[in-house]
Amino acid sequence: MALLPIIKIGHPTLRKVAASVEIFDDTLQELVERMIETMRVNEGIGLAAPQVNVKKRFFVIDNHLIDEKMEAQVYINPEIISQDDNGLLEEGCLSIPGIRAEVERADIIQVRYQTIDGKQVTEELRGLLARVFQHEYDHLNGVLFIDRIPVLKRKLLEPQIKELEGANIIQ
């Protein structure tokens, strides 16, 4: 199966709000499988459709990296219903290579999403899975993790960010 190119900061798709998924078919299934493979080859824990230049509301998370009993999963048309217990943890992103920073996110979230066959699921996520879900969810709304770091820290990272944006503005 062919890997998908991951777009980098500076590409306009990363700043757009993605559209809802309306059609649950073999094309979507194949795209999800390719995203999972792309995520794993690039050693990511999550990958949102906008990161592979697909303007749709879904992402994949390699839950196996969080809990060995779990498999990679797709979250389609996700929503965060509630959140609680904020904490800081360092994050990175496949679309912003080489930059890592602490981000404050909820440790417990209540979410709703659709599965690959369109079934609606509501569940509570905790810890690392909750954090990764929020990171990928942000991608669906044109938000990057660097938008969530304190202004001073972002100023310190600005030269690296500008360099990445300049190198990746047209893809």
The full length of the chain comes to 171
Check residue 171 and give its pLDDT.
Answer: 41
Give the Cα separation of 76 and 21 in Å (integer).
7
Kind and range of the H or E element at 77? strand 72-91
Give the Cα separation of 76 and 114 in Å (integer).
5
- pTM here is 0.93
Q: What digits encode the pLDDT tens for the residues 33-92?
A: 999 999 999 999 999 999 999 999 999 999 888 878 889 999 999 999 999 989 999 999
Check residue 168 and give its pLDDT.
Answer: 61
Phi, psi of 66 (to 5 degrees): -95, -40
Q: Are 17 and 42 in contact (CB under 8 A)?
A: no
Q: What digits encode the pLDDT tens for the residues 116-170?
A: 999 999 999 999 999 999 999 999 999 999 999 999 898 999 989 888 887 665 4
Check residue 63 and give its pLDDT.
Answer: 87
Kind and range of the H or E element at 103? strand 101-114
Query: Catalytic residues, which ones?
Result: 136
Q: Are 26 and 71 in contact (CB under 8 A)?
A: no
Domains of the chain: 12-168 (3.90.45.10)
Check residue 131 and give its pLDDT.
Answer: 96
Q: Are 168 and 11 in contact (CB under 8 A)?
A: yes
Residue 110 pLDDT more than 90? Answer: yes
